[in-house]
């Protein structure tokens, strides 16, 4: 095989070889739905989110991720009843100690959702389109358990105009399928109460061959499952000030396991700030505001600590959340913390 431009080859290896093939998110606490389909319908309103992440800014061809997600509960006892332990029009502040003390498990209900995730790095682009379903059940007076599934398709494509080749007929891509559609499947489980959550999920369950050549003897690779384990616990400093430490562990064979540590401080139901650490990669600063019962906004900036810090200006991530059919006029999420 003739030489391919080094940078292009690195991008191909990074995204289609046995390595992490899913985007990473600094504000995972703000949208755990991206990682776990069991979160579908966890809130008592329709939750729409739009997110954008520019990773390693300043590095040509660095990953850029954007997404749209929406999920909602189904079930008259939950949607129309006092299923979350909150009186109509808001009532008890979900950040207050009183809310956690009086919290009761939600009525059994279903949740559905849809997510579209686009991830681009150099000449490689991936788009995931998945529908989700979850069933939520109160297993004790204060503890809920939900199980969920996601299913859809993944499109991966190679933009050859961004690659400089020794020869136009390089067998790595010549006469190949440069735009491929593959089935996608994932499952998850989520346990939650008024002041904590624990979840586990796996994405890319279906092993798929990925190669761009006309024959499967060149640049062949496969997708691998991605395992996510998350947990968080709300600590009350006062009735209006809370801390939420959380952790996300990612396992993608055969690369070493990685983890994110996150600490979020919330002030009433309006403002929050936080910090995060990603193992061998970055430190992050986070902030957000719950504008009203319709709009929430979150922003984070990653300070790169890996070897890429010499060419990277860090990573930006912003999320905008819109709360539709929010009949309780909740300003801050009750279960997404």
What φ, ψ does residue 208 adopt, rounded to 5°? -130, 140
Q: Are 190 and 39 in contact (CB under 8 A)?
A: yes
Query: Does domain 6-324 correspond to CATH entry 2.40.160.40?
Result: yes
Peptide bond into 103 cis (omega under 30): no
Torsion sign over Cα 302, 304, 305, 306: positive
- Rounded distance, CA 168 to CA 183, Å? 31
Q: Are 129 and 138 in contact (CB under 8 A)?
A: no
Tokens standing for 320?
């905008």
Strands (E), the chain: 46-54, 64-74, 109-121, 124-138, 144-158, 179-192, 196-203, 209-210, 221-222, 226-233, 235-236, 241-251, 258-267, 271-278, 282-290, 295-304, 315-324
pLDDT recorded at residue 9:
41
Q: Are 184 and 153 in contact (CB under 8 A)?
A: yes
pLDDT recorded at residue 148:
98
Run of H or E residues at 9:
helix 6-16
pLDDT recorded at residue 310:
66
Strands (E), 15-143: 46-54, 64-74, 109-121, 124-138
Q: Are 74 and 20 in contact (CB under 8 A)?
A: no
pLDDT recorded at residue 256:
86
What φ, ψ does residue 104 adopt, rounded to 5°? -130, 150
pLDDT recorded at residue 5:
42
Residues of the chain predicted below pLDDT 70: 1-20, 79-92, 160-177, 210-220, 309-311
Q: Are 85 and 134 in contact (CB under 8 A)?
A: no
Cα-to-chain-centroid distance, residue 46 = 17
Q: Are 114 and 144 in contact (CB under 8 A)?
A: no
Half-sphere exposure in the Cβ direction for 122 (13 Å, CA): 16
CA distances from 281 to 261, 275, 312 (A): 12, 14, 12
- Rounded distance, CA 285 to CA 299, Å? 8
With a CB cutoff of 8 Å and minimum separation 6, the contacts of 244 are: 29, 232, 233, 234, 235, 262, 263, 264, 265, 266, 274, 337
Can you give the pTM of this predicted structure? Answer: 0.85
pLDDT recorded at residue 217:
52
């Amino acid at each position: 095989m003739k030489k391919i431009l080094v940078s292009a080859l690195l991008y191909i290896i990074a995204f289609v070889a046995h390595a992490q093939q899913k985007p990473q998110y600094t504000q995972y606490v703000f949208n755990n739905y991206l990682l776990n389909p069991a979160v579908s319908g966890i809130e008592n309103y329709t939750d729409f989110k739009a997110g954008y992440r520019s990773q390693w800014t300043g590095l040509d061809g660095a990953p850029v991720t954007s997404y749209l997600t929406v999920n909602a509960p189904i079930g008259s006892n939950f949607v129309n009843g006092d299923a979350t332990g909150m009186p109509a029009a808001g009532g008890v502040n979900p950040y207050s100690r009183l809310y956690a003390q009086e919290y009761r498990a939600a009525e059994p209900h279903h949740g559905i959702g849809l997510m579209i995730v686009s991830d681009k790095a150099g000449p490689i682009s991936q788009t995931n389109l998945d529908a989700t379903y979850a069933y939520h059940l109160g297993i004790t007076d204060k503890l809920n358990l939900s199980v969920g599934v996601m299913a859809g398709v993944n499109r991966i494509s190679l933009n050859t105009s961004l690659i400089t080749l020794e020869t136009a007929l390089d067998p790595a891509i010549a006469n190949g399928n440069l735009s491929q559609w593959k089935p996608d499947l994932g499952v998850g489980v989520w346990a939650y109460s008024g002041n904590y959550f624990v979840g586990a999920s796996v994405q890319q369950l279906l092993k798929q061959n990925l190669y761009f050549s006309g024959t499967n003897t060149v640049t062949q690779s496969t997708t691998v499952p991605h395992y996510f384990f998350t947990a968080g616990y709300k600590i009350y400093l006062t009735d209006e000030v809370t801390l939420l430490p959380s952790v996300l562990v990612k396992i993608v064979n055969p690369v070493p396991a990685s983890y994110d540590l996150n600490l979020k401080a919330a002030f009433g139901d309006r403002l929050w700030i936080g910090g995060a650490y990603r193992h061998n990669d970055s430190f992050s600063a986070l902030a957000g505001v719950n504008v009203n019962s319709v709009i929430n906004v979150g922003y984070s900036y990653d300070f790169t600590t890996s070897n890429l810090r010499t060419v990277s200006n860090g990573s930006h991530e912003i999320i905008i959340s819109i709360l539709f059919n929010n009949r309780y006029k909740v300003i801050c999420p009750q279960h997404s913390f």
